[in-house]
Amino acid sequence: MFAVGAAAAALALAALLPAAGNAVAEPGASSPPAASDGDLASDLAAVDRSTEWQLLSTVKLGFPTYHPEGLVVTADRFYLTSTQIIEPTKTYPAPVDGFDRTPGKGIGHLFVIDRDGKLVKDVILGEGDVYHPGGIDLHGDDLWIPVAQYRPGSTAEIDRVDVRTLEVTAEFTVDDHIGGIVYDASTGHLVGNNWGSRKFYEWTPSGKPVTTWKNPENLVDFQDCQYVPKGKMACGGITNLPQTPSAGGTKATYELGGIALLDLRSHAVVNEFPFQQWSEAGHVMTRNPLKLAADGDVITMWAAPDNGEETAGTQIYTWQAKLAAKG
């Protein structure tokens, strides 16, 4: 591992990130996508199971955060989506109208947070049965957010939020649960993943379908993704695996976390690796939202794995790794 002072780390991280409202495609870039891969793509391609990660800091969120879903990090803001459950869904004895459970009731939130963890604004997302915001991505001034019913095979609306005004515009609807989205700056298209991330959709920004494809990765279900220059995306996720019989069997699951780098043209996995670091509540770091950035051979990850009602509430953890010199 390698040591980084808190003040120096803060300055270094600020240099990695865009300010809210500028014309940068996503938190992992300091300039618009170039003709070749940037640091984030090459660094993620080089990470493996032996890569050592250091915890730099934690930011405690001192307001009700419910169940975090998606995260975007800029130089002065965190943007965090979350689902507030008012009435949990209930499984039907047999499918009803093609659904395996009731819609439940809830409220979707977009929390705008300063870098000290203080709430700046709570933007309400969705309405009626559509209250589950998912993984999010930033392109320029536009924050793209899917808001879905909280059940598989349902429906979703794709929202665009102007980060300057925080005005929400519902751009189009989709006949499936969409749990995450990225803006592909190399094509100008949107790419979303459904429940369990087993299927990807590609649309124009107005909602015209372009293509669909099966997720080539079967290690984890993706929770939050981001665009990575050029023509790639990084996704973090989790799968719950049964323990051995002596440890409780199927009633005692183990959280396997991981991150994958996918090629948006070939739809192939470029690299994938486990990320088995744990939160204060005992969750793997990639359980809920995360975002990544890179500068040279240093890669940074922000993650918010815990729900608001858990041990220490929701905290945003900052991790960093130094990779072997390139070239």
The pLDDT tens digits for 185-228 are: 999 999 999 999 999 999 999 999 999 999 999 999 999 999 99
* Stretch among 4-8, 74-78, 217-221 having the lowest mean pLDDT: 4-8
- State the virtual CA torsion across 49, 296, 267, 176 in degrees, nearest 10: 90
Within 13 Å and on the Cβ side, how many CA atoms surround 244? 2
> How far apart are the C-alpha atoms of 39 and 131, rounded to whole Å?
36
- The answer to whether residue 27 scores a pLDDT higher than 70 is no
- The answer to whether residue 107 scores a pLDDT higher than 50 is yes
Q: Calculate the average pLDDT of the chain.
A: 90
Domains, the chain, with CATH or none: 6-322 (2.120.10)
Cis? peptide before 230, omega within 30° of 0: yes
Percent of the chain beyond pLDDT 90? 82
